Structure 1
Amino acid sequence: MENARWKQRPPGSNWGDFGPDDQVGRMNLLTPQRRLKAIREVEHGLTFCLSLPLDYPGGNKLFQHRKEPKFFHERRGQGHNYNFRLSSVCGCFTDVISDDAVMLYTQYSTQWDGLGHVGQMFDANGDGLPEKVYYNGFRAGVEIIGPDDATGGHGAKAIGIERLAAAGVQGRGVLVDLERLHGRERVSVGYDGLMRALEAQKASVEPGDFLCLYTGFADLVLEMKKDPDTELLARSCAVLDGRDEKLLQWITDSGIVAICADNFAVEGYPARPGEGEHYAALPLHEHCLFKLGLNLGELWYYGELASWLRSHGRSSFLLTAPPLRLPGAVGSPATPVATV
């Protein structure tokens, strides 16, 4: 298979399977029929917010290159456009107006990883020289343009997060309750561990589903009240084993459209060493974002939903989780909602 942007695709990838210019990857499997099935999960009309407050985890100790939200207010008249009385314009008005602005790192808190978030050095041209490439062969400096690129401009001109937003992120979520099995012990979960967890819940995962992982990590972050203990977090709660080839193959075969975890990176980081001279530091990100076009959600909050699902003997629900429709962004804050 050959494409205008690449002559060879990564082993195990689906590049080109959804079309030469596809920009939403596995979200193509979220069909109208799958959404209708997801809607039938709703029996009680109850909703659960699956987002942390977006000023959590607090500070930037958890990831130094991302900072908590910062608010700004525009000046208006002698003051600011906040608690501003319109009567200062005309004495007859009774209105009081407040506006605000915020500097928001798109992947600071509850978030979606866009397909432009993680690429790889890969020889897509077949000339023996690896280049910076993202899902479906979109190139750094060509479609994914940063401030250090000679071409100027910035942002994801392809595979931006707005593509995911427009795809309609609503379907059936299946919550895998790893916290119930492992508590807050740091365990690395591969294929066998994931299958045991699904079997314990009598849960099944079908094509078009969102795989949701509850480990207790976000609950622990909340308990730290915006002062995260990075050493404690690093040794707490379950993570996926991104080096487990059997797990990666299951992700490929399952037809899931996304993995949404309550922890920091879905997979364990740093991962155990890979094989060969060169390998990905984030192997599950490589497999999902780069090879399959499968979005990852991180730092989601499942505590209340997990408790309700446990008490009702359920694992599945209707999930509605669009990112911001922000052209050019490679990630986005999210406020997912579960409806049961």
Structure 2
Amino acid sequence: MTGTGRTRRWVRRPAQSNWGDFGEDDQLGRLNLITPESVLRAIREVRTGQSFCLSLPLNLPGGNVLNPRRHPPRLSPTVRDGRPVFNLPIGDAALGQTDVLCDDAVLIHTQYSTQWDAFSHVGHLFDVDGTGHPQAVYYNGFRAGTDLIGPNDAGGRAAGAHRLGIETFAEKAIQSRGVLLDLQAMAGSQRVRIGYDAFMRALEACGTQLQSGDILCLYTGFADLVMDMGGTPDPALRDALCAVLDGRDERLRHWIADSGIAALCADNYGVEDIPVGGPHACGARLPLHELCLFKQGIPLGELWYFRDLQSALKEQGRSTFLLTAPALRLPGAVGSPVTPVATI
């Protein structure tokens, strides 16, 4: 039984998952590994007091070359008494009232630019009841139509992630030690699938032993290209440039599951290699997304910007830093823009 008295949401859990290990109603997954001790360890990484913004401008990459469903933010003034509130004098100038006001609103695709993926972003069909009938479920057995409500679900409840929403990340106030792996040094700007062996070489080169609760960050140079393209991305960017993890490498998946990292972030579009159109092998189209978001509760960060941080860390001969990266506290959302800050 759950803490609310309901029958447990699942009888079977997926192989290589940690469902229930942090509690039957847990919504934080491996973020639970970020303890006060983890935060104190991260704070001890601050030596020079330099801080770095790890977000792209949120209107980049530009257009919708990377994903046709996602578009740049649209800013517009709010309206007051039928007038757009931008450079708007308010009050009576004849009485010496001098205020001029700007006030705006934004329509934003939450996963267009630098982002966190919530666990509600990717679910899978899985036989949680052991009846032979797979159902659409998400991390820790939360269910489509019950815990995550779509606009066409019956019942009259508001659409959104009633469980596993991005607000859980915000409430956690994500802050821990970041460890930066330089995959760009290995691959340059070439599209290279990084499997277990290459990944281990990069990890050894970074000179840091990962600890429970660390946030692993992958520098490939992809976001550098996005920034340099200035809002007009080359169509080759998504599928032909910079390193990606090989999500189909079983040894790499096992390492991630056993690593103790609390989150995995990259400066590329999807962390792992994303198949281009057409059918794919049975099972998950994105095996690392399945492992991290669905099975293990490991948040994924995408399109982070590491160029300036990488340069500073390289100059100091280190790879670790204090990382602060809370999501928007936006109840029900399945992803969030984020402005991560690295302090060294």
Measure, in 2, the Cα distance between the counterparts of 1:273 and 1:84: 52
Question: Relative to 1, partners in 2 of residues 1:206 and 1:147: Cα closer, same or farther, differing over 3 Å?
Answer: same
Who is 1:331 aligned against?
Answer: 335
- Is the contact made by 1:106 and 1:333 (CA closer than 8 Å) also made in structure 2? yes
Q: 1:107-148: CA deviations, max 9, x gaps?
A: 000000001000001011111011100000001111111112
Q: So what's the TM-score if we normalise by structure 1?
A: 0.96
Who is 1:12 aligned against?
Answer: 16
* Stretches (4+) displaced over 6 A: 271-275
Measure, in 2, the Cα distance between the counterparts of 1:108 and 1:233: 13
- Counterpart AA for 1:244: D
Structure 2 unaligned residues grouped into runs of 5+ = none
Following superposition, the deviation at residue 180 of structure 1 comes to: 1.5
SS of corresponding position for 2:65:
coil
1:112-261 aligned at under 5 Å gives the runs 112-152=116-156, 153-261=158-266
Who is 1:37 aligned against?
Answer: 41
Question: Relative to 1, partners in 2 of residues 1:56 and 1:127: Cα closer, same or farther, differing over 3 Å?
Answer: same
Following superposition, the deviation at residue 252 of structure 1 comes to: 1.2
- Counterpart AA for 1:296: L
Measure, in 2, the Cα distance between the counterparts of 1:271 and 1:21: 36
Q: 1:183-205: CA deviations, max 9, x gaps?
A: 11111111211110111221221
Question: Relative to 1, partners in 2 of residues 1:283 and 1:272: Cα closer, same or farther, differing over 3 Å?
Answer: farther
SS of corresponding position for 2:91:
helix
SS of corresponding position for 1:230:
coil
Which region of structure 1 is more displaced relative to structure 2, 127-136 or 84-93? 84-93
- Counterpart AA for 1:84: L
- Counterpart AA for 1:62: L
Q: 1:237-293: CA deviations, max 9, x gaps?
A: 110011111111111111100001000000001189999x73100100000000011
1:24 aligned to 24, 28, 34, which one? 28
Following superposition, the deviation at residue 95 of structure 1 comes to: 1.4
Question: Relative to 1, partners in 2 of residues 1:274 and 1:64: Cα closer, same or farther, differing over 3 Å?
Answer: closer
2:86 aligned to 65, 82, 94, which one? 82
Question: Relative to 1, partners in 2 of residues 1:271 and 1:191: Cα closer, same or farther, differing over 3 Å?
Answer: farther
- Is the contact made by 1:112 and 1:334 (CA closer than 8 Å) also made in structure 2? yes
- Is the contact made by 2:238 and 2:269 (CA closer than 8 Å) also made in structure 1? no
Q: 1:21-78: CA deviations, max 9, x gaps?
A: 0001000000000100000000000000000000001011210011110112222236
SS of corresponding position for 1:109:
coil
- Counterpart AA for 1:192: D
Measure, in 2, the Cα distance between the counterparts of 1:21 and 1:229: 44
Count the aligned residue pairs. 339
SS of corresponding position for 2:61:
coil
- Is the contact made by 2:239 and 2:276 (CA closer than 8 Å) also made in structure 1? no
- Counterpart AA for 2:205: A
Who is 2:270 aligned against?
Answer: 265
Measure, in 1, the Cα distance between the counterparts of 2:81 and 2:213: 53
- Is the contact made by 1:189 and 1:241 (CA closer than 8 Å) also made in structure 2? yes
Question: Relative to 1, partners in 2 of residues 1:189 and 1:273: Cα closer, same or farther, differing over 3 Å?
Answer: farther
CA root-mean-square deviation: 2.0
Who is 1:280 aligned against?
Answer: 284
Following superposition, the deviation at residue 88 of structure 1 comes to: 3.9
SS of corresponding position for 1:176:
strand
Following superposition, the deviation at residue 87 of structure 1 comes to: 2.6
Q: Name the % identity.
A: 57
Measure, in 1, the Cα distance between the counterparts of 2:40 and 2:109: 34
Measure, in 2, the Cα distance between the counterparts of 1:216 and 1:281: 24
Question: Relative to 1, partners in 2 of residues 1:159 and 1:105: Cα closer, same or farther, differing over 3 Å?
Answer: same
- Counterpart AA for 1:218: A
Measure, in 2, the Cα distance between the counterparts of 1:90 and 1:323: 46
Which region of structure 1 is more displaced relative to structure 2, 206-215 or 229-238? 229-238
- Counterpart AA for 1:207: S
- Is the contact made by 1:242 and 1:271 (CA closer than 8 Å) also made in structure 2? no
1:56 and 2:60 are equivalent in the alignment:
yes
